[in-house]
Chains A and B, each alone.
Chain A
Amino acid sequence: MADLDQPLPDAKRRRWRAAILWSPVPISIVVAIVIGAAIMQITDNDSVEVYTEILRGAFVGPNLVYTVAWAVPLTGMTMAAALPLRGGMVNLGGDGQLVMGGLVATMVALDLPLPGTARLIVAVVAAMLAAGLYAAIAAWGQVRWHVPMLISTLLLNYPAKGFASYMVRFPMRDPTNGNPETHMVAPDARLPQLIDGSLSSSLILMIVAVGLIILFDRRTVPGFELRLRGLNPRFAGYGGIHLDRQAVLTMFAGGAMAGLVGASIVLGDQFRFMDGALVTPNYTWTGLMAALLANGEPVGAVAAALFFSALQIGGFGMERATSIPRELTSVLQAIIILLLATRAGLKRHLRLG
């Protein structure tokens, strides 16, 4: 029998393997911190002080609010990547979906002749629909014409960004403004602020969305089907799951999350659509990394997103307080990801070998 449960040559080796296979994320973080400290010692910096400043920059006083405000869109974009990833699909089109969502939210909030709150609700829903449909195009292309989603999602970013650029430069431009920006959204069509000027009620929207996704993942029929697809698509299809329909719907849901993020930023923070403002902070790619680290599992992905938020915002604090540029936090982030990726590769290698 070609057993998968063949005992390994000896128990010691087995334990060693198990240690590598199951070494959790914390070990990678500790190793990254040690490497970071080494870099600082080489460059004659006090590593304890630097790390203290990162922590202070992320969590102390108003900094905690900044971290949370940064975590809201980042967590949203993490979910936009994690949902498809749970089913084994990679969504590289977060930027395009984010921009589509933000643009549509702005259009509706500016021009729809409805009373304020209704306009706000319609704007958010329309943003999610538009971004969801935009993402679903890629899935449909794969299902219908076998265009790999890995490529189509990535390429679809460009037309979306280009279209939005055109819109804010010409038809939607606020002519009184020197920058390519739209008019301001009326105050009654904005998301209510929790802390004026720094945190909007998009936090609540995001908490609800994440809660629903976790519930979906753990407790619902389509969540179960998506998870099994991620573990073995052939098995899922054999078991009667409609893979094509599932791909389109899942990409729609991922895109809708990105659209929600776009609407949240436009209607809760900037109150207008500014060219490039949604993609510059790199929420999409940091979110994709967070999702990849957790393999699409929503709770882990949220944890990773929160960790990256703290690290990035902490980096600003560190830069202010010390002579070290905040790129150091990007280095730490990269080391953690490399370590975890190595571990995943090693796991596969050991399983084969």
Chain B
Amino acid sequence: MRGIVKRFPGVLANDGIDLAVRTGEIHALMGENGAGKTTLMSILYGLHQPDAGEILMRGEKVRFTSPIDAIAHGLGMVHQSFKLFNTLTVWENVVFRAEPQRRGFIDKPVARARVRELSDRFGLQVDPDAVVGRLPVGVRQRIEILKALYRDARILVLDEPTAVLTPQECRGLFAVMRNLASDKRTILFVTHKLREVIEVTDRITVLRDGRVASRLVTRETNPEQITRAMTGRNVFFTARRGKPQLDKPLLEVTDLTVGEGPKPVVNGVSLRVHAGEIVGVAGVAGNGQSELVEAIVGLRDHSQGSIEIAGHDVGGKPLRDRRQAGIAYIPEDRAITGTALAATATDNLSLGFHRDPPLSRGVFLDLEAMRIRARGLIERFTIKIPNEMTAVGTLSGGNLQKVVAARELSHQAAVIIAEQPTRGLDVGATEFIHQAMVAQRDAGRAVLLISSELSEIMSLADRILVMYEGRIVADMPADQADEAKLGLLMAGAQGHG
């Protein structure tokens, strides 16, 4: 791709980008959000037309007016959100719109055989007859890859493919990518995750503000150099996914019981969250997760057990003391607990900070400081709101959740408890919240994530607990968990560990 320029109203998304990818290599396209990766890939795939510039394939100038064009020229794309029919089988999905036919009917044996052959050849390990809806996310992604290969894609674009995968699944994907590369297929790997780029790619193109910031050879570079290219500044580099500091439990709950009788709502729960760790609590809603969280943060009394935050025993203390000890809390219901809908964004963002300078001096509020701070948070969390004095009741779910996240995450609390943090949000807002939580983890905080969304738990958590009927029935590292196993535990099958 040469000199690609694309303008959107008010934004110059791509500003003269040159991208050269060699046959048979794994090439990383990196950049922060808004750097222009997605726009560039959409142009390559024929979804957008460039305002200037050209695309060359094997030296020939090509012009794609639609994805169908692009596919015909041997391009395949695996999107972040999969485009599959969940009720159909794997082979049906793969051959869709390119079915092998015999006398007007789909030639099922041939179709299945081809799918199986492709799967075996590249080590994809997919059963052609499985129903897609029952397969874990990682397998669905491999089906998307199969779809592209079935159409004989020579160039594969993988857009943030690991965002939804467990570490285990990532390793599987990387093996597949290497197999494909050795088959002289070209892979464009769009990501912002350094570790993966270092692990699997040959060369790197880094975008920043719609331009190429750097071209690097993976073997000759290092994470610091890439980060500098991505952000344009020297960033204190925290090794992503540095090991959790197991000697530093920031949240320690011991034998916590809420309610009375033989079957209390929360029944003797013990858990620890360490610095630099995300612990996910999976479970079908109503198995005591909400009560557990409310007891930890102090919205509900517990009948037994202890709660320690960063070494301070906070059991029995009021909520404000627990917050001061270092808890931030993104509650399950942003409209009922997390905000006051009739209050302005400034008021909503100020609660919890309003007792301390600079928002107040003594008993008096500094209204100007409150507004300035609110404006800052609105900008930093890209909250779409007319101004900081608008009532938050007018906001969409995603923006409302950003208000909650902006307030809670700016506490810089040691422990962050997030309860169903992305429920009802669109993909963009979900990704935003997820990245914010990962950033907190990488900054050495302890994150307790409660979600009934298994994929969310699996993509974010380092350790996974399963809660069933008020008890923790399983505790395992994320790479030992899969949806099937967790699903069984959530349904009440005997746990272990």
Contacts and interface: CB of A to CB of B under 8 A. Distances in A.
Interface of A: 1-5, 219-225, 227-228, 231-232, 234-242
A228 B343 contact: yes
Interface in B332-346: 335-343
B351 A235 contact: yes
Contacts of B363: 220-222
B364 A1 contact: no
9 smallest CB-CB distances across A and B, nearest first, come from: A240-B320, A232-B340, A239-B351, A231-B340, A1-B397, A235-B340, A231-B342, A3-B396, A239-B352
A348 to B, nearest CB: 12
Contacts of B424: 1-2
B312 interface: no
Contacts of A3: 396-397
A239 B341 CA distance: 14
B339 A235 contact: yes
A239 B331 CA distance: 11
Nearest to B397: A1
Contacts of A5: 394-396
Contact of B393 (A4, A219, A225, A239): A4
B337 A235 contact: yes
A219 B367 contact: yes
Given A231-B343, A238-B319, 6 more contacts: A224-B350, A234-B337, A235-B339, A235-B351, A236-B351, A241-B320
A177 B146 CA distance: 104
28 contacts: A1-B397, A1-B426, A3-B397, A4-B335, A220-B364, A220-B365, A221-B354, A221-B363, A223-B365, A224-B354, A227-B343, A228-B340, A228-B343, A231-B341, A231-B343, A234-B336, A235-B336, A235-B338, A236-B340, A236-B351, A237-B299, A239-B351, A239-B352, A240-B320, A241-B320, A241-B351, A242-B318, A242-B320
Interface in B123-148: none
B455 interface: no
Interface centre among B354, B360, B395 (most CB of A within 10 A): B354
A212 to B, nearest CB: 12
B299 A238 contact: yes
Nearest to B331: A238
A272 B297 CA distance: 54
Contacts of B347: 224, 227-228
Contacts of A240: 319-320, 323, 351-352
Given A228-B347, A238-B319, A242-B320, A221 B355 contact: yes
Contacts of A238: 297, 299, 319, 329, 331, 337-338
B425 interface: yes
Contact of B395 (A4, A220, A235): A4
Contacts, number: 84
B398 interface: yes
Contacts of B365: 219-221, 223-224
B373 to A, nearest CB: 14
Interface centre among B318, B339, B340, B393 (most CB of A within 10 A): B340
B340 A2 contact: no
B400 to A, nearest CB: 8
A4 B360 contact: no
Nearest to B350: A224
B352 A219 contact: no
Nearest to B322: A240
Contacts of B350: 224
Contacts of A236: 340, 351
Interface centre among B329, B350, B365, B367 (most CB of A within 10 A): B365
A220 B354 CA distance: 10
A144 to B, nearest CB: 15
A240 B319 CA distance: 6
Contacts of A237: 299, 319
A224 B342 CA distance: 14
Nearest to A1: B397
A39 to B, nearest CB: 37
Nearest to A235: B340
B342 A2 contact: no
B364 A228 contact: no
Contacts of B318: 242
Contacts of B331: 238
B425 A1 contact: yes
Nearest to A244: B318
Interface in B79-123: none
A238 B299 CA distance: 7
Interface in B347-374: 347, 350-352, 354-355, 360, 363-365, 367
A299 to B, nearest CB: 16
A126 B188 CA distance: 80
A6 to B, nearest CB: 9
A198 to B, nearest CB: 37
Contacts of A224: 347, 350, 354, 365
B316 to A, nearest CB: 14
A338 B323 CA distance: 44
Interface in B386-430: 393-398, 424-426
Contacts of B342: 231-232
Nearest to A232: B340
Contacts of B341: 4, 231-232
Contacts of A232: 336, 339-343
B319 to A, nearest CB: 6
A235 B333 CA distance: 10
Contacts of B297: 238
A219 B354 CA distance: 11
B401 to A, nearest CB: 10
A3 B323 CA distance: 30
Contacts of B335: 4
Nearest to B362: A221
Nearest to B294: A238
A212 B347 CA distance: 21
A242 B298 CA distance: 11
B217 to A, nearest CB: 43
A234 B329 CA distance: 14
Contact of B364 (A221, A225, A234, A241): A221
A215 to B, nearest CB: 9
B2 to A, nearest CB: 40
Interface string B144-180: 0000000000000000000000000000000000000
A219 B319 contact: no
